[in-house]
Structure 1
Amino acid sequence: MLWRTHMKKLILTSLFASAMITTAHAATETSTFEVSAEVAASCQITTNPLAFGAFDPSVGTSGTATLDVACTSGSSGVVTLASANTWTMIDGAETLAYGLFTDAGHATVWDGTTVGQTVTGAGLSTPTSFTVHGNIEPQPAAKVSAAYADTVTVTVTY
């Protein structure tokens, strides 16, 4: 009987130990971290050339070009134009004056110091299109040339 009692204690001890092992739980610890970003103001400019084509110096001519400006949503800026030659196309020593305007009636000069066009950012995938209206007044003394050219710089200040 002693042997049976001893066996019962041994079995009970084994079962208890087994129950302790299977019911043990893993410990966990949790924490958090912040995620943040700052969207910087940004603008992109896409330009198209203004080609006046054949020009009759006794009559003058007009032409247009488009500018597409896309700025990050919520930002805004001013689009200005500037020419190192002060609105003069050059071919060697020969020059041909022209003007760039914000309107088809050529009433408001579009320049780099006093007049600009405002762009309100709707997102970089949603550009605002601007039309640049160019005009060459009659210039009867203009010399024949197919190579008059100038480079205009488009700036968005935002």
Structure 2
Amino acid sequence: MLKKLLAGAALVICGQTAHAATATGTLDVQATVLNTCVVTTSPVVFANVGLDAVTANGSVTVNCTNTSAFTVALDGGDAGDIAARTLTHATLPTSFEYQLYTDAGFTTVWGDGVTGSEANGTGPSQTLTVYGRTTTTPDAAGAYSDEVQVTVTY
């Protein structure tokens, strides 16, 4: 009988295991996505300019956080005149004119929507080709440049 009592006590002692209590809940995860776009460009490089008109292409790439439509405007560059953009010599007081277009046929001047047309695109990412052509002849050899501001409205 003592054996049975000891065996029963041993079962009661061993059978009592520790139970951990648990509780559950939820964790909310949220984000606020900004409506924003980033602009990158590749230059329009006119190579070997001489007495004849020269063409070249560059690009404007627009990356946005949404798929909305946007417009891309180009200003008149350092000359401040979309109708008469100029490339200025690096060291001499001379320049010559060029133009930027939205199309390969050089028919639509790329401007600000008032002078020339804006280009249209749709996010989230699009690359637009900038078509360039010289429109006058330079007076002197050397390096010429201009800086055109790109404005994306979205």
TM-score, with structure 1 as normaliser:
0.71
Q: What residue in structure 2 maps to residue 90 of structure 1?
A: 88
Deviations 1:32-72 (A, max 9, x none): 12111233233333322212122234x33322212232223
Find the aligned partners of 1:84 and 1:55 in 2 and give their Cα distance.
20
Q: Give 1:94's aligned amino acid.
A: T
| Structure with bigger gyration radius | 1
Structure 1: where are the runs of 5+ without partners?
A: none
Q: What residue in structure 1 maps to residue 141 of structure 2?
A: 145
Q: CA RMSD in A?
A: 2.9
Report the secondary structure of 2:20's partner residue.
Answer: coil
Is residue 2:67 matched to residue 1:74? Answer: yes
Is residue 2:21 matched to residue 1:31? Answer: no
Is residue 2:38 matched to residue 1:44? Answer: yes
Q: CA deviation at 1:132?
A: 0.9
Report the secondary structure of 2:21's partner residue.
Answer: coil
Contact 2:62 2:126 in 1 (8 A): yes
Does 30-39 or 106-115 show the bigger shift? 106-115
Structure 2: where are the runs of 5+ without partners?
A: none
Is residue 2:16 matched to residue 1:18? Answer: no
Percent identity for Structure 1 against Structure 2: 33
TM-score, with structure 2 as normaliser:
0.72
Find the aligned partners of 1:60 and 1:13 in 2 and give their Cα distance.
106
Q: What residue in structure 2 maps to residue 120 of structure 1?
A: 122
